[in-house]
Amino acid sequence: MKRFVLPIVSLLGLAACQPQPPSASYFPLEEGRSWTYQSITEFESQAAERDILVLRNLGKTTLADGVAWHRRSDSGMNYWLRQDGSGVYRVASRPDIHEQYEIDVPHRFVLKEPLQVGTQWHASTTAYILHRRQDFPREIRHSHPHIPMRYTLTDVQQSLETLAGHFDGCLLVRGQATLRLFADPVTGWKDMPLSTREWYCPGVGLVKLIREEPANSNFLGGGTMTLELKEWK
């Protein structure tokens, strides 16, 4: 599902001879790395969408406020990221159809230090699956582009199987948000839950992501999207 905008991270200001700090090791940042993911979106209507997403590290770029690391998806999204003692965070993004990048204000954390159970942070998200069954615009994200989500690092020793193989010692990050929408004339307004689970593994990066956006509404549709690593280099 190429419209799904992943939370991509990179690193600022470390020379090649310097060791990467702990948070960077859970998301390799050096130029030339790439990741291929299988994406499956299952809708409440029983329909499903399958897609392949490829992400590539393109090296350092100088922005108006300094150097950042550039990462691009084959869906046409570009991201610029940095890291300091507070963690790894995105500082700008740009779809290919736009000439200028847009600065993230505030910066969007993806992994926040310290990398220990209980660490929390907030970042903006949107509804990637929720949609109106009849009204226009169909996608909820057009009317609600910035939804605050709370992220919590809940485990630092996860093991899991993926299409790319078995991984140990992974971080599990959970995100929770709610979006108040008009569900139908009987229910009226309802708080729709948005939840995310993200697994980051040492030396590899993001290996799996599950996004759940249930609607259970006559006016709205929802579903679940799973992103799973197929191969990486």
Does pLDDT of 2 surpass 60?
A: no
Instruction: Express each pLDDT in 32-48 by its tens digit.
Output: 999 999 999 999 999 99
The amino acid sitting at 129 is: I
27's tokens: 């998301």
Task: Give the 3-state secondary structure of residue 142.
Answer: helix
Instruction: Assess contact for 39 and 226: CB atoms under 8 A.
Output: yes
pLDDT for the residue 46? 92
Instruction: Express each pLDDT in 99-158 by its tens digit.
Output: 999 999 999 999 999 999 999 999 999 999 999 888 777 888 888 888 999 999 999 999
Does pLDDT of 9 surpass 50?
A: no
Taking CA atoms, 124 is separated from 25, 85, 156, 180, 210, in Å, by 24, 21, 23, 16, 17
The gap between the terminal CA atoms of the chain, to the nearest Å, is 22
pLDDT for the residue 18? 38
Mean per-residue pLDDT for 24-28? 81
179 DSSP β-pair partners: 192
pLDDT for the residue 185? 85
Give the H/E segment covering residue 23. helix 22-25
pLDDT for the residue 8? 30
Does pLDDT of 199 surpass 50?
A: yes
Give backbone dihedrals phi and psi of 169, rounded to 5 degrees, phi first. Answer: 65, 35
pLDDT for the residue 141? 85
Instruction: Assess contact for 132 and 143: CB atoms under 8 A.
Output: no
Question: Sheet holding 102-112: strands in order across?
Answer: 102-112, 87-95, 77-84, 66-73, 48-63, 34-43, 223-232, 205-213, 188-201, 165-184, 147-162, 120-125
Tell me the pTM: 0.86
The dihedral sign for the CA sequence 200, 201, 206, 211 = negative
pLDDT for the residue 55? 97
pLDDT band at 13 (very low <50, low <70, confident <90, very high): very low
Instruction: Express each pLDDT in 159-171 by its tens digit.
Output: 999 999 999 999 9
Closest CA to 46 of 227, 228, 221: 221
96's tokens: 């290919």
Instruction: Express each pLDDT in 51-100 by its tens digit.
Output: 999 999 999 999 999 999 999 999 999 999 998 889 889 999 999 999 99
pLDDT for the residue 7? 35
Instruction: Express each pLDDT in 14-25 by its tens digit.
Output: 222 334 556 668
CATH topology for 22-232 is YmcC-like fold (2.40.360)
